[in-house]
Amino acid sequence: MTSLAVVPGSFDPVTLGHLDVIERAARIFDEVHVVVVHNPAKSAMLPVARRVELIEQSLAEAGINGNVTVTNWSVGLLVDYCLEVGATVLVKGIRSEVDVTYETPMAIVNRNLANIETVFLLPNPAHAYVSSSLVRQVSELGGDVSAYVPPAVTRFLDEESAN
Ligand code: PNS
């Protein structure tokens, strides 16, 4: 049986930590869908379509291809997407106890709702403190985020700040 996993998130913007999780998920599962979800609890920096584009470019430039597809989901529960495409597993990166506290209720709810399991991957220590919110803050204040995000994101943010 083909294993299909979903790597969901806001990805606003995609970071090197996200890329690491996606790459590792793509080695564990036959097929991976990266799903950009609008999280109403967070005020967004980038439109969802741009986030999808930046993930696609970043994956291509990192040579992560073949079994990874990027899409978005905005019409309901994430588990509905999983059921629609036949995915049984969600993959999330866990950097710290804060992430465990944030992710645990979601994992339990997703399992209760539709029997979708969540697999947590520990970070590459190099990316353990990288978050999209940190990147947004540094970028919005004019700082250099190139150590935290893929080159495609750095280029995009540089172009945006030049305009
Ligand atoms: O990168 P984020 O913002 O931490 O990702 C959180 C996300 C988008 C994965 C989560 O908010 C989510 O799954 N939203 C979809 C709506 C949903 O299914 N909610 C119930 C699950 S707890």
Q: Where in the sequence numbering do the catalytic residues fall?
A: 18, 42, 95, 132
Residue 1 has pLDDT above 80, yes or no: no
Query: Domain 4-162: which topology?
Result: Rossmann fold (3.40.50)
How confident is the model over 104-120, as pLDDT tens digits?
999 999 999 999 999 99
Q: Whose CA is nearest to atom 21 of ligand 1?
A: 106
Domain ranges of the chain: 4-162
What predicted TM-score, i.e. pTM, was given to this entire model? 0.96
What is the pLDDT confidence band of residue 159, given thresholds at 50, 70 and 90? very high
Using CA atoms, how far apart are residues 121 and 139, in angstroms rounded to an integer? Answer: 27
How confident is the model over 8-37, as pLDDT tens digits?
999 999 999 999 999 999 999 999 999 999
What is the pLDDT confidence band of residue 130, given thresholds at 50, 70 and 90? very high
The 3-state DSSP class for residue 115 equals coil
DSSP lists the bridge partners of residue 5 as 32, 89
Ligand 1 atom nearest to CA at 109: 22
Measured in Å, residue 38 CA sits from the centre of ligand 1 at 8
Whole-number pLDDT of residue 146: 97
Ligand 1 pocket list (CB less than 6 A): 8-10, 37, 39, 42, 77-78, 106, 109-110
Using CA atoms, how far apart are residues 67 and 48, in angstroms rounded to an integer? Answer: 22
Whole-number pLDDT of residue 138: 96
Measured in Å, residue 152 CA sits from the centre of ligand 1 at 25
Measured in Å, residue 118 CA sits from the centre of ligand 1 at 12
- The CA–CA distances, whole Å, from 97 to 14, 102, 152 equal 21, 9, 30
Contact 29, 2 (CB under 8 A): no
